[in-house]
Structure 1
Amino acid sequence: MKIRALIVLAALCAGCAAVPQRGPGVDADVRRLMDAALVPGLALAVIDHGQVVYRHAYGHADVAAARPLRTDTIMYGASLTKAAFAYMVMQLVDEQVLALDAPLPSLLSKPLPDYPGYADLGDDPRWRLLTPRMLLSHTSGLLNWRFINDNRKLDFKYPPGSRYVYSGEGLQILQLVVEERTGTPLQTLMRQRVFERFGMRNTSMVWRDDFSGRETVHYGGDGTVIAHQHRSRARAAGSMDTTLDDYASFMAGVLRGEGLSAKAREEMFSPQLAIVSPRQFPSHWPGETAAYRGIGLAAGLGWVLYNSPLGPAFFKEGNDDGTNNFALGFLRTQSGVVMLSNSSNADRMFLPAVERLFGGTCLPWYWMGYIPYDRPDLRPPDRHAQPVLSPGCE
């Protein structure tokens, strides 16, 4: 069944090629949403049946210089890196280089607390219970980043395997495992196994000199200019620079299942643990809700999963100062959308943009923190314990 996005684009752009030109109606609505949410630049791609059928960039990569954003502008992927890393890890699982349920002591050459940066866990034996499955599904019990704690030390907030707690720290531990097991730096693994496979010529885990002059400027919520960082260290949790063209190609490949066995792909998109936190951030706070049970919100391996009116769905966000990115896929139709922005405000337009393209999807927007620009009443912290879902998605 064709998704509403393709129907809309077909009506607006009859006779378009495999990569259509922009549709006037879609463009007008995206620009209206950008203006309302105060977003200077957004790049958008639509995928259907495993193929990119529409892509366009709106607004500016650099407002002061009046430099337009393009679909090949270098943009910071932020935590979209995690999904690409997870895809690479599942290839290693396919090849039996790594076992999802192997405990950490069997995967490392020495105890985790003996590695630089992990001495904080020396007095807590629970690190021995960690597995790649827990680290990929954000169920390790480790908080997102140690600097969140007043003492800036790494610790467990929940027993490993007991609760979804978004954890960049967990992905960094898995990077340590992967590099040691393969004897290969992460940036090389990602280039060989992911970027080259999907033709991602302008994507890298570290800054490349040929990116200079092609990168976007970033903008904070109040319009503050934030320079694009030149990251010199590959980090599984988030160091990837990419473009809309490249990440849309990756997302289309994920929807096709390219590069993974059917078993590994099914494992990646299988619910690992139901999500009970009222909101994704901070997911280490105490408190539980059953509000998302109806849509089956759950942790997958590298992705978050839920049941949508279009069938099983998965998504990944990527956020940082001056960056909001979103990738959403529907398994049954091999359809989805990628949105990359250079603004801290873009999350305010993601829900209405998705609904404009696909109709109602039951996206768990409140849990994600994607509060629409026209619902400021839902932003105060005291709403944390009162989840909100789209009508008909309860």
Structure 2
Amino acid sequence: MRNKVCELTFLSLAFFSRLLGSFPRISLSFLTLSLLQACTSIPELKPAAGLGEVLKFLAEKHNICGVAVAVVRAGKVEQTETASACRGLSPIDSNSIFQAASLSKPVFAYVVLKMAQQGKIDLDAPVMRYLPQGYFSRPYPFLSNFDAKTSPVTDPRLSVTTVRMLLNHTSGLPNWSDGPLGFDFTPGSHWQYSGEGYVLLQRAVEAITRTRLDVLMDSYALRPLAMNDSSYVWRSEFEGHFQRGDNGQDNSTLTFSEPIAPATLYTSAKDYGRFIAEVVADKNLIRTTLASAVPVDESLHLSWGLGWGIEQTANDTLIFQWGNNPGYRAFAIASAKTGDGLVILTNSEDGMALAEPITKFVLPGEHPVFRFYMLQEGVAGVLCATLGVCP
């Protein structure tokens, strides 16, 4: 409890010192000393703390060995910051490479929308138009290899599943399947997060272009956006910059040799910041994304568009996505109105603890997305999902 109070105190002081830029320093200094007197475990803090100091504080608080943040302002990458609470591990900088987990999805969706603009794919066409030979799935594709057993998807509902439904998670497919793939409900009837849906769409896109996904993503997005430290498959040149999962301790970190659209992006904070900057600067893309929104949690004003979650606040509309791979957590959010945003990449399963305070520091105000059950972990996640008791 004491640490939580200290953390909130520090973040509040940092925020107000930015807000009250011309406020006398001596007053803020006195307030800092008074309020933080009891926080003996926290070093002396500057009243006008910047993002780097906030990030370092939070990394130490939650024992995060690797975290990188990129901040976008008005559609341009303004700054990158990194922090580590550990010694003796790989050094971290703005080019350090992490697994982005589900932050892979918006980049893939971006390419699909670009293809739609070029007339190469129809968002409202049944996806099976592009897979006339049928669709064969395999359990947990990001965990298996090329030789894993596949099985045909025979559910007749596959024939009415459109590209748009796959992008906004209304296909009726589960997130992941551990056996033959089937539908949980009628496509288009409501929202349910689905990695399987993005894999299906990946196969359609590969069929259209006759190109494997990693090569396609390089051509359509990563190279044009100068995302030079990014790839949907592991590359040997990443080794010197790669942040191993589970705070650098996990020697069994997954290495992705096959590209899987919803899960296997390797990237740096600087690179993903460039991607966010491109998305918020492309007004046609933002309009298309927001126009296809479907309800997710009306009590939190959350919906889902084409490739991004959507958070509606009193004064803004924001797009967001979280990432959750074994040993990694990530989060990205940006304002469709101002072009401001950020990405957070961590090599820890405790990394989501940094997402809300960092987001509020960069984008002040309440963000109901952090009360969404899919962002809750551990016991808190169970209570939130089953009983609706969310922090």
Q: TM-score with structure 2 length normalisation?
A: 0.80
Counterpart in the other structure of 1:29: 54
Return the offset for 1:117.
6.6
Is the CA contact 1:42–1:339 (under 8 Å) kept in the aligned structure 2? yes
Is the CA contact 1:43–1:339 (under 8 Å) kept in the aligned structure 2? yes
Aligned pair count reads 344
Counterpart in the other structure of 2:144: none
Counterpart in the other structure of 2:5: none
Is the CA contact 2:323–2:330 (under 8 Å) kept in the aligned structure 1? yes
Return the offset for 1:271.
4.0
Aligned to 1:57, the other structure's residue is in SS state strand
Q: Does 1:189 align with 2:216?
A: yes
| Larger relative helix fraction | 2
* Per-residue deviation, residues 200-257 of structure 1 (Å, max 9, x unmatched): 111111111211222112116xx85354433111111111111111111111111111
Counterpart in the other structure of 2:77: 52
Residue of structure 1 aligned with 2:269, choices 223, 238, 244: 244
Return the offset for 1:358.
2.1
Unaligned runs of 5+ in 1: 13-22, 277-289
Counterpart in the other structure of 2:313: 308
Identity %: 27
Question: 1:370/1:180 Cα in 2 relative to 1: closer, same or farther (>3 Å)?
Answer: closer
Aligned to 1:302, the other structure's residue is in SS state coil
Return the offset for 1:113.
5.3
Return the offset for 1:141.
0.7
**For 1:218-297, what aligned pairs fall within 5 Å after superposition?**
218-219=245-246, 225-257=250-282, 262-276=283-297, 290-292=298-300, 295=301, 297=302
* Per-residue deviation, residues 331-376 of structure 1 (Å, max 9, x unmatched): 110110111111000112211221122221323212154459xxx9
Q: Does 1:355 align with 2:355?
A: no
Is the CA contact 1:309–1:362 (under 8 Å) kept in the aligned structure 2? no
Q: Does 1:89 align with 2:137?
A: no
Return the offset for 1:7.
9.2
Counterpart in the other structure of 1:133: 164
Q: Aligned partners of 1:213, 1:199: CA distance in 2, in Å?
A: 20
Q: Aligned partners of 2:275, 2:160: CA distance in 1, in Å?
A: 32
Counterpart in the other structure of 2:35: none
Match for 2:163: what amino acid?
A: P
Match for 1:71: what amino acid?
A: S
- Looking at CA atoms only, which structure, 1 or 2, has the larger radius of gyration? 2
Return the offset for 1:114.
9.4
Residue of structure 2 aligned with 1:322, choices 327, 330, 336: 327
Is the CA contact 2:243–2:347 (under 8 Å) kept in the aligned structure 1? yes
Return the offset for 1:79.
1.0
Is the CA contact 1:271–1:305 (under 8 Å) kept in the aligned structure 2? no
Aligned to 2:84, the other structure's residue is in SS state strand
Is the CA contact 2:104–2:261 (under 8 Å) kept in the aligned structure 1? yes
Q: Aligned partners of 1:336, 1:179: CA distance in 2, in Å?
A: 31
Q: Does 1:157 align with 2:184?
A: yes
CA RMSD in angstroms comes to 2.9
Q: Aligned partners of 2:204, 2:333: CA distance in 1, in Å?
A: 28
Range 224-233 or range 352-361, more displaced: 224-233
Q: Aligned partners of 2:64, 2:223: CA distance in 1, in Å?
A: 31
Residue of structure 2 aligned with 1:340, choices 338, 345, 348: 345
Q: TM-score with structure 1 length normalisation?
A: 0.79
Match for 2:294: what amino acid?
A: L
Counterpart in the other structure of 1:166: 193
Q: Aligned partners of 1:251, 1:5: CA distance in 2, in Å?
A: 24
Return the offset for 1:54.
1.5
